[in-house]
Chains A and B, each alone.
Chain A
Amino acid sequence: MLLQQLADGIATGAIYGALGLAIVLVYRASRTLNFAQGELALLGAYVSWQLTAWGLPIWAALLASMGVLAALSVVAERVLVRPLVRRHQALPLIIVTLGLMIAINAVVGWAWTYQTKEVPALFGSGAIEVLGVAVSRQDIGIVLTVLVVAIGLGVLFERTPVGLRMRAAISAPESAELSGISTGRTMSMGWAIAGAVGALAGTLIAPELFLHPGMMAPVLIYAFAAATLGGLESPPGALVGGIVVGVVENLAGSYLPHGSDFKQVVALVIIVAVLLLRPQGLFGRREVVRV
């Protein structure tokens, strides 16, 4: 029973981690928290659903949806975000992402109604026995998919010229620009990858939660908890943070009295505790200010 709970926690946690990763990528690119990240993922889930409704296989629908959301994220970054980033307007920027969150949610509700839809599971049904525990194919598939994406991004950032440019632009934007790197382009790239990873998270979680316009609001809070726990700057941190949040949420839901009512609180407790006790998170570095 406990091991079963752990497996479920790790699988949902991997999805929180994936959305947390999207938040981290945008934070690194534009120094802002994108409150619309969850709704962009929601839109990704709906695009996936729509494409399967038109007859595409779910995997093809997922890939197409990731592409669409990458493109839309770049548009949002260019049109709404970059002008404010260039003028260092931090607060208006957050308000803009909040507005975008509300707008996308309304558009989704308008386009696809508020009735729940069923997204086909990507990994079939049934369970596989792992170390004496029956783990659903769905859980295993989710964890493996997120793992593959995470490793792929790790290779992209650490081992390719494009990744090096992105890291240079984050490390010292002005020096990067003076070295011939278009920081505008690296910023767009950060948003594009975040949009695609978000669409993946949304499509992976939709079969678990049923697809409806309110689906991603709680997930976004877990993802923020994951990103905060990981340190907000660290992509691996977000994934590890997501899994911790997923496991704690699942255990609290099962073992605390009235646990299922408290699940959401778990995320908020984690956010507050991290900010109080270790603001740089598990993987972040303490910001050193030289005077």
Chain B
Amino acid sequence: MSLLSVDIAAAGYGPATVLRDIAFDVPAGGRTVILGANGAGKTTVLRTISGLCDVTGSIRLGGDELVGLPPYRVAAAGIAHVPQGRGTFGDLTVRENLLVGGATRPHRTAAMDADRWMDRFPRLAERSGRPASGLSGGEQQLLAIARALMSAPRLLLLDEPSLGLAPKITTDLFATLDELCAETGTAMLLVEQNAQLALGIADHALVIESGRITMRGPATELRDNDDVRRAYLGV
């Protein structure tokens, strides 16, 4: 049985409809990547799941309907969302960022988890009491992911984690992401421009064009598909 079941008839911002007839599932522990050109509607898929867009249709997490819930209740239901480019709270310290990520859980558990994350990533521990805005781009993205996982989510939504990062740092970040999700068994729905890397850690992929799904299949299959190779892998 699938963890997330998306069946969107239409979604968008007020009168502007961005998505039409988007239906797909993410199994428990599964990893799905959404590929597509700029403006195709990838980000809108994630924002719709999180309750930030107007939508007609049904989005279910483990059988519970999410459509109609405000974003903070979608988060409480078990979906963590790292939005594009600004996943951290710049004014708050690194440790406070982690604690905010655990806002849906008892404070004591969250505090213990925050310490665990800092043991794991000494770079975060070193800057524990400093504002997150002082971190490098790669460290901020790592903090954003750690913050999202602080809520012990069932599903992690990631919007362009590689945005603005150097290639080497992106590669490291994806390796860490792969490791973390494998350890915790957290399912992942990823929007990413870097199709090569994304297809490397995903098991399923969707291609969205102009707000509709035009292709779908196992990640390995899409990686070998000529159209995908030409359009998104640059070969």
Contact = CB atoms under 8 A, between A and B. Distances in A.
Interface of A: 161, 164-165, 167-168, 170-172, 174-184
Nearest to B101: A179
B146 interface: no
Interface string B146-168: 01100100000000000000000
Interface in B174-226: none
Nearest to A172: B89
B107 A161 contact: yes
Contact of A174 (B52, B80, B148): B52
A164 B99 contact: yes
B52 A176 contact: no
B86 A180 contact: no
A165 B100 contact: yes
B186 to A, nearest CB: 16
8 contacts: A167-B92, A168-B100, A171-B89, A172-B88, A177-B71, A179-B101, A179-B104, A182-B70
Contact of B86 (A167, A175, A179): A175
Contact of A179 (B52, B70, B75, B107): B75
B92 A183 contact: no
A170 B90 CA distance: 11
A178 B148 CA distance: 9
Given A167-B91, A172-B90, A175-B83, A180 B76 contact: yes
The size bracket of the interface on B is: 20 to 34
B50 interface: yes
Contact of A178 (B83, B90, B92, B96): B83
Given A167-B92, A180-B72, 4 more contacts: A165-B100, A168-B103, A171-B92, A177-B72
Contacts of B36: none
Nearest to B87: A175
B100 A179 contact: yes
Nearest to A183: B72
- Across the A-B interface, give the 9 residue pairs with the lowest CB-CB distance, nearest first: A180-B75, A180-B104, A171-B89, A177-B71, A171-B91, A178-B81, A168-B100, A182-B72, A161-B107
B233 to A, nearest CB: 30
B151 A180 contact: yes
| Residue with the greatest number of chain A CB neighbours at <10 A, chosen from B52, B75, B100 | B100
Contacts of A174: 52, 71, 83
B90 A171 contact: yes
Q: Among the interface residues A171, A176, A180, A184, which one has the most CB atoms of the partner chain B within 10 A? A: A180
Contacts of A184: 70
A180 B72 CA distance: 4
Contact of A181 (B72, B91, B107): B72
Contacts of A172: 86, 88-90
Contact of B147 (A161, A179, A183): A179
A66 to B, nearest CB: 26
A178 B100 contact: no
Contacts of A171: 89-92
Interface string B38-77: 0000000000001010000000000000000011100110
A177 B100 CA distance: 10
A281 to B, nearest CB: 16
Contacts of B70: 177, 182, 184
Nearest to B131: A171
Contacts of A181: 72, 100, 103
A178 to B, nearest CB: 4
Nearest to B100: A168
Contacts of A177: 70-72, 75
A180 B76 CA distance: 5
B132 to A, nearest CB: 9
Nearest to B111: A161
Contact of A176 (B100, B148, B151): B100
Contacts of B87: 175
Contacts of B90: 171-172
A164 B75 contact: no
Contacts of A178: 50, 71-72, 75, 80-81, 83
Contacts of B107: 161
A85 B96 CA distance: 26
Contacts of B103: 161, 164-165, 168, 179-181
A261 to B, nearest CB: 43
A168 B147 contact: no
A174 B50 CA distance: 11
A179 B89 CA distance: 11
Contacts of A180: 72, 75-76, 103-104, 151
A181 to B, nearest CB: 5
B92 A179 contact: no
Contacts of A168: 89, 92, 96, 100, 103
